[in-house]
Homo-oligomer: A and B are copies of this chain.
Amino acid sequence: MTSHLRAGPLRARRTAGGKLLAVLAAFSRERPTLTLSEIARTVGVPLSTAHRLVGELTRWGALERDADGRFRIGLRIWELGALAPPALGLREAALPFMGDLYEVTHQNVQLAVRDGDEVVFVERIAGRDAVNVLTQVGGRFALPPTGVGLVLLAHAPAEVQEHVLAGPLTAYTQHTITDARQLRRVLAEVRRSGMAVSDRQVTEDAVSVAAPIEVRGAVVAALSIVVRGSSPAAVRSYAPGVRAAALGIGRILASTSTWS
């Protein structure tokens, strides 16, 4: 599970604003809190510069200082993030359907979008007694081994598909598809059937069923249920529920103006 906030193209030619953004980019899921000197080291600026940048960001509310003197992302960035498409629109449209699916199945329900060649998990409802899943909201993962990733990859632009198919295709378990030709066949089947099944490709005990969320013909997100087991046939029984919920979310999104 990579959280992978890109270092960005600003590293080379660094404006004052670019340095400010580089401070924000120093924080990641693996390193959610940083000391001033860790920030200076990560951004590659003197401590005095880091101090000034961190001061500006803290006054604005982009960073907060905790009781130990470590810095972390602040409430204001979280508020701004609540205005981004995954939150405003997608998440609000999806949550009631996800809640219904959870209530009916008591399995893990996941919502994801694609960013480049990765899955970004936007929301999940974790079943208390369901199989343990590694995903976290805001977390990223490779596209090919996950159900949502297969759906998103199958409907990605050709250049994204070719880039991913060119590999390498990492094996997470002995069931992970690492052969490009086989993956290409699976993606065609996903497009044909309108759903994807990922069979123990991420962990040895989890199978997922995923369906595309479409708005005016474009796949903008994917919905999945992740269940314990090794029987794709049994898992497929969840498909109608997942597909119907995904259709419902797409219908709601199409009727709202914030999603285009």
Interface size classification for chain A: 35 or more
Q: CB of A44 within 8 A of chain B?
A: no
The copy count of this chain in the complex is: 2
Q: Does A159 contact B (CB under 8 A)?
A: no
Whether A138 pairs with B83 at a CB distance below 8 angstroms is: yes
Q: Are A125 and B99 in contact (CB under 8 A)?
A: yes
Q: Write the A79-120 contact mask toward B (1 if CB under 8 angstroms, else 0).
A: 111111111100110011001001100000000010100001
In the bound complex, CA of A32 to CA of B9 (Å): 26
CA distance A3 to B19 in the complex (A): 28
A20 CB within 8 Å of chain B: yes
A10 on interface, CB distance cutoff 8 Å: yes
| Max chain B C-beta neighbours (<10 A), residue from A21, A66, A79 | A79
Distance in angstroms between the alpha carbons of A60 and B15 in the assembled complex? 12
Question: Is A8 an interface residue, CB under 8 A from the partner?
Answer: yes
| Contact pick for A60, options B10, B56, B136, CB 8 Å | B10
Q: Can you list 6 A-B contacts (CB < 8 A)?
A: A5-B80, A16-B16, A21-B60, A32-B83, A64-B85, A87-B138
